[in-house]
Amino acid sequence: MVQRSKRSMPRTKVEEMKAVLKPFHSEVRRWCGEIPIGSTVYVALESLNSALLLTDQQFNAEIDGRSQGKGDNGLQDFDCP
């Protein structure tokens, strides 16, 4: 297993990624509206939608935590054994 160094994500990078995430998430939701429910493509898009929602929540927590002086909220690598 590859071991990565511990590093945090700067707030500017979080905000930059969040700005890209929002329009992409809207596009995925639009695609979901065009695909028949229950198809394999729809299921895959719903999985992607869930991942995008979770990512947005993590970005919000990171931005809120930093602005409130609480440090990071888990958006950093961890030590691998």
**pLDDT for 13:** 84
**pLDDT for 36:** 92
pLDDT tens for 32-79 read 999 999 899 999 999 999 999 999 888 888 877 765 555 444 555 544
**pLDDT for 38:** 87
**pLDDT for 1:** 53
Q: Which residue pairs, CB below 8 angstroms and at least 24 apart, start in 25-28?
A: 25/49, 25/52, 25/53, 25/56, 28/52
Cα–Cα distance, 44 to 64 (Å, whole number): 30
